[in-house]
Chain A
Amino acid sequence: MLPPPRLVVLLLLFCCDALHAHPGHVHPPEEVDEFDVEAFLSAAAHPFTDLDHWLTMLVAGGLVAMAGRGPGLAMVSAVTAGYVSVFFPTPWLLTLSLVPLGGVLWKGQPMAVRLAGTTVVVIGVLLAALRVSLE
């Protein structure tokens, strides 16, 4: 399926090097310094600064969305899961949250979705196992 014409125009804008304000001028990714801000703000930002919390949020949001509960509840669930995950050993939380995701994706979904879901689950479990082995 072709993207809508407006999207094509927008994509072309971002593809054009000449439109960059400063050619050759880059901003390398910076680590969030959690000591630069007050403790509350630091805690609030923490779930958004690590890959494992991001994955947990994606899984929780995806599960709720696939259950047909609507985007609003999916977003609330995702953010809540992100904060709750801070209080648990993340590798195990990831493993446990990815298993039901795999079940939902497997049940009554087209083969492509099943394969994608299985891939997500396998990668998630491998990441969790890697984290466990490193700790």
Chain B
Amino acid sequence: MMVVRQMLAEHSLRPEGERVSLFIERHLFLKRRWQGVAEDGTAFDFDLESRLKNGCVIHQTDDADYVIAQQEEPVFQIATPTVALAALVGWKIGNLHFPVQIGEGFVRVTVDPMIQELLATEDWSYEKARVVFQPLKLPPQVTSPNP
């Protein structure tokens, strides 16, 4: 099993067809020691000295780049068409200590019974979506968008 200690590059420069993804859950970006298996069955042992990023290259062969891909997860995507509503949503969810992802005209938060309860009592427009959730709580180098 190959041992990965750090990313080789922040992004792969090879075309899509020459990339092999290793899908991981979001929480693994916070861990130093773990194991994972890429799409083609190649197993990796991670003993990390520094953080990985979504889309980073962890291993290269003559034929392909092995890249980290964050798995999608269910979230509530709440529409925030006005600044006042965005502030209110941010305040109410923040008071529950849930991490959020802020986008243009929406706020995303993980699916949780407490949030569900909050949404049931508020007249907010929202939808359940499945996305690569990148909350603000994670450090900037992890939350930066994919190329």
- Given A26-B96, A28-B96, A35-B51, A42–B32 Cβ distance below 8 Å? yes
Give the number of residues in B that approach A within 8 Å (Cβ atoms).
Answer: 19
- Given A135-B37, A135-B43, A28–B112 Cβ distance below 8 Å? yes
Instruction: Indicate which residue in A27, A34, A86 contacts B31 across the interface (CB closer than 8 Å).
Output: A34
**Is B27 positioned at the interface, with any CB of A under 8 Å from its CB?**
yes
Once the chains are docked, how many angstroms separate the CA of A109 from the CA of B36? 41
Shortest CB distance A134–B (Å): 9
Shortest CB distance A40–B (Å): 12
Q: A25-B96, A39-B49 are in contact. List 20 more A-B contacts (CB 8 A).
A: A26-B96, A27-B97, A28-B98, A28-B112, A28-B114, A31-B27, A31-B30, A33-B30, A34-B31, A35-B30, A35-B32, A35-B48, A35-B51, A43-B32, A46-B32, A46-B33, A86-B33, A135-B35, A135-B37, A135-B43
Residues of A bordering B, CB below 8 Å = 25-28, 31-35, 39, 42-43, 46, 86, 135
